[in-house]
Amino acid sequence: MAVSQGICLLGATGSIGTSTLDIIAQHPDRFHLVSAVAHSNVDKMAAICERFAPRSVVMTDADAAEQLAQRIAHLPVTVASSADDLDAIVSAPEVDQVMAAIMGFAGLRPTLAAIRAGKRILLANKESLVTAGKLFMAEVAKHEVLLLPIDSEHNAIYQSLPQSQQGAMLKDVDKLLLTASGGPFRTWSMAQMQDVTPEQACAHPNWSMGQKISVDSASLMNKGLELIEACWLFGVTPEQVDVVVHPQSIIHSMVSYNDGSVIAQMGNPDMRVPIAYGMTWPERVTTQVAPLNLFQIARLDFEAPDLTRFPNLRLASEAWYAGGTAMATLNAANEVAVAAFLQRQIGFLDIAKVNEKVLELSPVGQVNDLSVVFAADEQARTCAAEVIASRSYT
């Protein structure tokens, strides 16, 4: 019988966190929750502490940490809130695996701390690779950690490669085929998308996700970030990755080989599958996800992405080729633009316009250390806020 693995869950109250906890609950003999991190959702974190009894939790919002400490005072759980506390819990000796599911740029620092502590990394935070891919992968190699991608697309590619070799393009692979649902506006015209509301953008047809990632999916920025992530994970360039719009989200991604073969990973859209695969690799466990019924699916459709209606995918490729801090700049601009859209300060189509303007205005620096990435991120956020305030993106 496998020894129970200690899990540190970064982003415990989000959708990935919820699915991870479900896998832990299904396999209590294999996994136990050592620690958990969230921003400010006291109710959800209190429920997690009651059910899974972690040793320590971090709420990155100090007021939320204080409220949680009072709420669970009867439990033997340490509650903290500082960045140093966050680094400490991912590095704790009783932690075997770290699920890196904190949304956005905020997930970079604790994930790097977990790598340096030699933990198995279950990477659900694509922004870590987007903003600091060169440094990130260098740390993975230096500390010889096992990095398993949790995004369904990258997890599918990982499963479709022989030996699941990360970090190097295999000589017999022709292309990686990264699938995209197309989001809720796949068939909409530019005129129709002009008046999109946040509620419409967050209504993904296939996946249950948070607001920010749902908007990114609707604008195809999520696929752009995944394109950059795939380049770092598998040692390829955007020319070696084809984005394929596949509305049913049944084929999660594919690998095309130079002999004409294509290997695909398929399944019902449920994040418990890639999460369980990452947690138990190289084994597999049950997930309570319904098996795929091909007769019920009946058909699978594929189409090319429209870069005119969804320019964020083009911007991601351009940022990759620009190199250096360009990818961190794009990510920061997009986070600011999406937040502004959700607050109804700009329109849906303005998100890509803001991103392009910030890329145009921001110098590209060489990423030699993490401080450069943080500086580029801060500068891009300031620039994006100014661009939005002045409406200079129009």
The response to whether 152 counts as a known ligand-binding position is: yes
Rounded to an integer, the average pLDDT of 338-350 is 97
Share of the chain above pLDDT 90, in %: 90
Q: Cis before residue 238, ω within 30 degrees of 0?
A: no
Q: Does 125 count as an annotated binding residue?
A: yes
Beta bridge partners of 58: 37, 80
pLDDT digits (tens, 9 = 90+) for 178-191: 999 999 999 999 99
* Residue at which a domain ends, from 145, 180, 211: 145
pLDDT of residue 208: 65
Place of tokens 């692979």: 173
Question: How far apart (Å, rounded) are the C-alpha atoms in residues 62 and 58?
Answer: 9
| Per-residue DSSP letter, 109 | H
pLDDT at 167: 42
Q: In which band, very low, low, confident or very high, does the pLDDT at 166 lie, cut at 50, 70 and 90?
A: very low
Residue 217, annotated as binding a ligand? yes
The angle at the Cα of 153, spanning 150 to 154, to the nearest 5 degrees, equals 55
Ligand-binding annotation for 183, yes or no, is no
Radius of gyration of the chain (CA): 20
Q: Is 17 annotated as a binding residue?
A: no
- Rounded distance between C-alpha atoms, residue 313 and residue 363, angstroms: 21
Average pLDDT over residues 358-387: 96
Task: Flag whether 315 is in a domain.
Answer: no
127 among annotated binding-site residues: yes
φ, ψ for residue 27, nearest 5 deg: -130, 65
Q: What's the pLDDT band for 163 if we cut at 50, 70, 90?
A: low
The candidate with the shortest Cα–Cα distance to 148, out of 130, 122, 114, is: 122
- Using the CB atoms, write b or e for 272-281: b if 16+ within 10 Å: bbbbbbbbbb
- Residues 206 and 269: their CA atoms lie apart, in Å, by 7
- Asked whether the beta carbons of 46 and 71 are under 8 A apart, the reply is yes
Handedness of CA 125, 129, 131, 135 (dihedral sign): positive
Is 229 domain-assigned? Answer: no
Q: How far apart are CA 148 and CA 277, in angstroms?
A: 9
pLDDT of residue 213: 87
Structure confidence at residue 286 (pLDDT): 97
Q: Is residue 330 part of a domain?
A: yes
Please check whether residue 109 lies inside any domain of the structure. Answer: yes
| Averaged pLDDT for residues 376-393 | 97
Would you call 29 exposed, middle or buried from its count of C-beta atoms within 10 A (0-12, 13-18, 19+)? exposed
Per the structure, the complete domain to which residue 370 belongs is given by 323-388
Structure tokens at 219: 């604008």
Element (H, E) at 245: strand 241-245
pTM attached to this predicted model: 0.92
Domain stops at, among 124, 145, 166: 145
Does the annotation place 356 within a ligand binding site? Answer: no
**Does position 97 have pLDDT exceeding 60, yes or no?**
yes
Number of folded domains that form the chain: 2
Burial grade of 88 (CB within 10 A; 0-12, 13-18, 19 or more): middle
35 is in an annotated binding site: no
SS3 assignment, position 293:
coil
Residue 222 marked in a binding site = yes
- Is the pLDDT score of 15 beyond 50? yes
Question: Could you give the CA distance from residue 329 to residue 326 in angstroms, rounded to a whole number?
Answer: 5
Amino acid identity, residue 210? G
Q: What's the mean pLDDT in 11-33? A: 97
- Any idea what the Cα angle at residue 282 is, between residues 242 and 272, rounded to 5°? 65
CATH number of the domain bearing residue 123: 3.40.50.720
Is 260 among the annotated ligand-binding positions? no
Taking residue 170's Cβ as centre, other Cβ atoms within 10 Å add up to 14
Displacement of CA 363 from its chain's centroid (Å): 26
For the beta sheet containing 97-100, the strands, ordered from the edge strand earlier in sequence to the opposite edge, are 78-80, 56-59, 31-38, 5-10, 97-100, 120-123, 147-149
Query: Does the residue 202 lie in any domain?
Result: no
Q: For residue 57, is it within any domain? A: yes
Q: What is the mean pLDDT of the chain?
A: 94
CATH classification of the domain holding 330: 1.10.1740.10
Establish whether 283 is an annotated binding residue.
no
Tell me whether residue 100 is in a domain.
Answer: yes
To the question of whether residue 259 is assigned a binding role by annotation, the answer is no
Burial readout 300-337 (b: 16 or more C-beta within 10 A, e: otherwise) = eeeeebeeebbbbbbbbbbbbeeebbbbbbbbbbbbbb
344: left (phi over 0), alpha (psi -120 to 50) or beta: left
Is 223 marked as a binding-site residue?
Answer: yes
Which residues lie closer than 8 Å to 354 by C-beta, 6 or more apart?
333, 336, 337, 340, 346, 384, 387, 388, 393
- Say what the pLDDT of residue 168 is: 46
pLDDT of residue 203: 86
- Whether residue 13 is annotated as binding a ligand: the answer is yes
What's the confidence (pLDDT) of residue 171?
Answer: 77
Among 145, 170, 196, the domain-final residue is 145
At 216-257, the pLDDT tens digits run 999 999 999 999 999 999 999 999 999 999 999 999 999 999
**56-69 pLDDT, tens digit each:** 999 999 999 999 99
Consult the annotation and say whether 219 binds a ligand. Answer: no
Per residue in 257-309, pLDDT tens?
A: 999 999 999 999 999 999 999 999 999 999 999 999 999 999 999 999 999 99
pLDDT value for 1: 53
| DSSP character string of 22-34 | HHHHH-TTTEEEE
pLDDT grade for 210, boundaries at 50, 70 and 90? confident
**In this model, does residue 165 exceed pLDDT 70?**
no
Domain assignment present for residue 207? The answer is no
Q: Is 258 annotated as a binding residue?
A: no
